[in-house]
Amino acid sequence: MASVTLNKLSKSYGNTPVLHNIDLHIAHGELVVLVGPSGCGKSTLLRVLCGLEDISSGELRIDADVVNTLSPAERGIAMVFQSYALYPHMNVFKNMAFGLKIQGSSKEDIAQRVQAAAEVLHIDHLLDRLPRELSGGQRQRVAIGRAIVRKPRLFLFDEPLSNLDASLRAKTRIELSRLHRELAATMVYVTHDQVEAMTLGDKIVVLNEGHVQQAGTPLTLYQQPANRFVATFIGSPTINLLPARVLEASSGGVRLRLDDGSQVLALVDGSQLQTGESVEIGLRPEHCRVDASTAHSGSKDTSLHAEIALVEHLGESNLLYLKTDIGQKLIVRGDGNAAVRLGDSVIVRAGPESIYLFRADGTAAPRLRPGNMRSAHVH
């Protein structure tokens, strides 16, 4: 298996730039997920990696070799597409064997490789079936099997699960993780689904408009997003954002005033911030608590007066849609058992360690205790 390095890689279609100066290292055996909104350049990046598109500038290396001008066949990469593109008139065995046959592998070698891949994918009992006699999930495995038998240096997956229903998607995701471990394979996986990205990736690369916004572990992106874009893209429901003004800032924390006049203490490094600067604070729905008592808690927690506008019951928890006294909207994840009613006046509280802070240009102030979160609950 291989490592992949992109150095200042750019790609334009005619005069339209699509990928800008991408620097990225994918280690041997790593599963990297590229995630971002539709049109951000994910598929283009995959197509550039496998050689279906030219590189406009910069360098692409697989291990130590510069592969900018190598053809797809010479790169030793296998790509699994969202449309499985199986040959309808060939059975599973022949579909999986086809690429090897073209390469001129021996019959024994083909049979041995197809059998081994089919066993890994638990489809060895389906080798005689035609694609139309398979479920969506089974077809997806055949498509992956076709990639595995070629023993590629690198696997590329382009939204491979998007044609599957939700429960099969979750199951196949677990299968892919297992496969990644068993094959010790280097994999690059594209999705627009942040949940898929969070659960699959060793490393996630968030793209927006052809720029890498941040690359890191799922937990790093969640706890220490580099900017507002990453903070809003990762996490569901989306992080709440409220405008605020800096009252006092130091490397040990920041005191802010919100538009409703209340004060907030944020445990973020404010050494770059100016007094009076306009910023936004971020509150994740799962880090807020809703308190029916309007009494002052006496702590350093943020306290926002709000009214419950809508409750969505999810079973194990509920989502509370709130409107603050000055009309700002907030979402809070609450305890599913709590008796909360529409129209209740409540206080939304959040601890200083849970607050995110974004400057006007979108960059985040580093959080000082990102992993030290009190769990959310409803009183």
Q: Which residues of this protein are in contact with ligand ADP, per CB under 6 A?
A: 13, 16, 18, 36, 38-44
370, containing H or E segment: none
Q: Which is nearer to ligand ADP, 53 or 277 (CB)?
A: 53
Beta bridge partner(s), residue 171: none
Contact 257, 250 (CB under 8 A): no
Q: Which is nearer to ligand ADP, 123 or 212 (CB)?
A: 212
Contact 207, 45 (CB under 8 A): yes
Considering beta carbons, is residue 48 or 378 the nearer one to ligand ADP? 48
Q: How far is the CB of 157 from ligand ADP (least distance, A)?
A: 13
Strands 4-13 and 57-62, bridge-based pairing: antiparallel
Which strands make up the sheet holding 4-13, listed edge to edge? 16-26, 4-13, 57-62, 65-66
Cβ 246 to ligand ADP shortest distance, Å: 35
Supply the minimum distance, in Å, between the C-beta of residue 12 and ligand ADP: 9
Whichever of 18 and 62 has its CB closer to ligand ADP, that residue is: 18
CA distance 75 to 67: 7
Q: In what order do the strands lie in the sheet with 356-358?
A: 263-266, 253-258, 240-250, 278-283, 356-358
Cis, bond preceding 237 (omega within 30 deg of 0): yes
Nearest distance in Å: CB 57, ligand ADP: 16
Pick the closer one to ligand ADP by CB: 210 or 334: 210
Residue 21 CB, nearest distance to ligand ADP (Å)? Answer: 16
Q: Please state the closest distance from residue 210 (CB atom) to ligand ADP, in A.
A: 7
Strand-pair partners of 80: 157
C-beta closer to ligand ADP: residue 209 or 344:
209
Q: Which is nearer to ligand ADP, 40 or 281 (CB)?
A: 40
CA angle 276, 282, 283 (to 5 degrees): 130
H/E element, 229: helix 228-233
- Closest approach, Cβ 39 to ligand ADP, in A, equals 4
Instruction: Using alpha carbons, list the distances in angstroms from residue 366 to 91, 214, 239, 278, 361.
Output: 55, 14, 16, 17, 15
